[in-house]
Structures are given as C-alpha cells and as structure tokens.
Structure 1
Amino acid sequence: MNLGHIADIHLGHREYGLNQREDDITSTFKPTQQLNTQDDPDAILLPADLFHSCDLRPKVVEAAERGLSVVPDDVPVLGSRGIHDENLTPRDVTWLNYLHRRGYIVLLEADLQSEPEVATFEPHDPDDPSEDAGFYDIDTDTGTVRVFGLQWRGARTDTALGKVAKGIQETA
C-alpha cells in the first residue's frame, strides 16, 4: 500500500502580514501534484490544517480546489479538521465540508455526541457526498485498510481518545 501524507498546509496564512508569504505557502501545495502523478498513491492523507483560518478569501479556496483537482478520481484524499480549519465551535458548513461535498476530499470525523461512552463512525457513502464520514475503506491487493477520522479536540483530546478507541473496536 502506498499512502501520500500532506499536513499543515495553512493555505491563506500571511506570515508576518506579507502577501508574498501567503503566495509562498500556496506554492507549497503544488508538490501534491508531483506526489499524485509520480508516487501513484492508493490514498492521500490530509489530517489537518489545510487552511490557516476558517474565514477565507475566494482566492484561497480557489488555490485549494486547483491543488486538489489534479488528484486522479481513483485516489481518495482523506481529510480531517484541525484547529485552524475550524475551532471547537462547529459551524453548519465549513470549507472542508464544501470541499467534501464538491468531491475534492472525503472529510472524516468521529461522532462524539450521539453516544455518551463511545464514538460512532459512519462509513463513507460515495453515493451521498453531502454527508461526512467516520471512516473510509481502501481496497488493496492484500485486503482492505480502514482509515478512521478524528477532528481536532484541543484540551478535550484525552476524553475523546477513550471514546474513539471503543468506537473503533465496535466498528471494526
């Protein structure tokens, strides 16, 4: 199995308040194109902080779409929410939800609310891209690999991990 891993891109970040730094950061997303075409991954993992803020200018979203558009249709990009993508106060729709619904990524998140002691994970449904998923199955030559998602939890991580471990055991 061959996995690509890209994290902490921080599209839209203007380090030191400089437009050039934002452009530099955007250009770091271009190696994704080389990864896709040269390494032939079974999936690309994008675990957190694709964006630097949950409030974005249109050119930042356009850069994300442009970078993700070169990923072949048979290579899923599995993403999860980080601290910069959205804070602990969820919005109805985030830019990651938008990219998920447009088919650029599969947004993976644990449901930490519906059960008091255990996280629940719903499978990705390719026929219903409007719904987020808890896990995604990657078929390989040697079997299926299941990838679970967990969004950023900050100081609540310790509490979430126990629920997630139980949820993975119940789902597997």
Structure 2
Amino acid sequence: SLNLSQYLNKDSNFDDQKLADSGYGQGELLINPVQLASIYSSFVNEGNIFQPYLIIDQKPKSWIKSAFSKSTVNIIKEALIGVISDSNGTGHAIYHNDIELAGKTGTAELKSSQSDTNGTELGWFTVMTTNSDTPILITTMVEDVKDRGGSGYVVEHMKKPLGNYLY
C-alpha cells in the first residue's frame, strides 16, 4: 500500500499544539526523504518546489509554483545558510570557504510516549548549494543515531560524498 505524507493521524483531532509540533517536524508529521528534498529545493528556487526525478534528462519542472513568498524564502534561506556558515551551526562541520552551502539538521525521535527514554532516533541532514555551477541538494537519513551524535553523525558522513561532487 502507498504511504502518503501526513501532518495528522486519521484518528487525531487537530489543535494548536499539533499545528506547532508539525511546524518543527515533530508531532504526527510523516514525510519521506524525497518529499523533504523537494520542499527544501524551494528555498534556492524562488519559492518553487521542483518535481522529483530519479534520472533527469531535461530541464527540471516546477511541481508547486510559489509555494512560499519571496520574503519567506529569503528569511528561511538565510537561516539555512547560517546552519552551515555559523561556527555554532549544527551543520558547520561541512562548511567550505569557497562555496555557499545551506542546510538543515534534524533528529526524529521514535518513541511510544513523551516519557519513553528507550526509543530510537533517526538523524536527518539536508545540504544544498545556493548559487553554484555545480548545483546539488542532498537529503540523508540514518537510522539509530542515538548515542552516536544524532544528526551530527549524519553531517560528518556527508563530508566526503559532497566534497567529491563539488571538487
């Protein structure tokens, strides 16, 4: 069966708390890496979400035009650049002096309840060039990063493949 993305389970009631939780990727939000990469593509494409492809042999097609306003795109893009360029950014380990990168780390907690301390964690990292002759956007997810550095583990493991592509 097809598993669709969602921000709310069928059996749940929507309220302000669930809206807030979904806004920062928690709560009942379910999304796959291809969907996440497509959404992040909008922040380097003037708010347009491009259609995902396995193999591209033509110019990319816009999937959702103007999903975000230009002012929203600029605010989020600057924040994503800061994730990499700021020495305190969660993705700073992948910073390069000669190319502007933007990114977002995240950790999905898979637990049965708020008090569950034994649940596992998924580490996420999306990185993209913002204005490059070698455009790329990569979204990576690694299972079971708890006690291995969380999403920082994923950032470290992205250094070599990204460097191989860029240089």
TM-score normalised according to structure 1 size: 0.28
User: Which structure has the higher relative contact order (CA within 8 Å, separation 6+)?
Assistant: 1
TM-score normalised according to structure 2 size: 0.29
